[in-house]
């Protein structure tokens, strides 16, 4: 059974870079037909897509975050990654990694809370 697990710093200073890792187990990140996605949810608010990446490394980002985001993949480690630069308090959220197939998300990680504060 596929499992995804987010890890990384839970506290980031303003203007710094948020870095998260998503570890994939129970399946290969190189499997065809899937992309790997980051989503966030500010406390008490709705879901927001950040971007996704295919196993060949092609990445696509939500326009509002595109200038600050990089998503990458390491097939040898079965991981994919999120970097969000120049963070502010508005970036405080639960960050989810997930697997996407044919435009819908069929497996989610448990999420990790990242707080931006000095």
Partner 1 sequence: SYDLTQPPSVSVSPGQTASIACSGDKLGDKFVCWYQQKPGQSPVLVIYQDTERPSGIPERFSGSNSGNTATLTISGTQAMDEADFYCQAWDSGTVVFGGGTKLTVL
Residues that bind partner 1 (CB under 8 A): 37, 39, 46-49, 51-52, 60-64, 96, 100, 102-106, 108-111
Q: How far is the CB of 39 from partner 1 (least distance, A)?
A: 8
Separation between Cα atoms, residue 116 and residue 88, nearest integer Å: 6
Between 5 and 16, name the residue whose CB sits nearer to partner 1.
5
9 vs 46: CA distance, rounded Å: 22
Of 79, 83, 86, nearest to 71 (Cα)?
83
Report, in Å, the least distance between residue 83 CB and partner 1: 18
- Residue 55 is given by DSSP the state T
CA angle, corner 31, sides to 26 and 35, nearest 5? 100
Q: How far is the CB of 8 from partner 1 (least distance, A)?
A: 17
In three-state secondary structure terms, 20 is strand
| Alpha carbon 84 to chain centroid, angstroms | 10
CB of 51 to partner 1, least distance (A): 7
**Residue whose CB is less far from partner 1, 48 or 70:** 48
Closest to partner 1 by CB, 32 or 63 = 63
Nearer to partner 1, 17 or 48 (CB): 48
């Amino acid at each position: 059974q596929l499992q995804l697990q987010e890890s990384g710093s839970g506290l980031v200073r303003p203007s710094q870079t948020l870095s998260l890792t998503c570890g994939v187990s129970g399946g290969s990140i190189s499997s065809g037909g899937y992309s790997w996605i980051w989503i966030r949810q500010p406390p008490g608010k709705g879901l927001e897509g950040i971007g996704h990446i295919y196993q060949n490394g092609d990445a696509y980002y939500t326009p509002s975050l595109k200038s600050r985001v990089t998503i990458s993949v390491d097939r040898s480690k079965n991981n994919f990654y999120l970097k969000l630069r120049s963070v502010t308090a508005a970036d405080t959220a639960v960050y989810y990694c997930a697997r996407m197939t044919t435009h819908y998300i069929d497996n989610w990680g448990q999420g990790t809370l990242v707080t931006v504060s000095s």
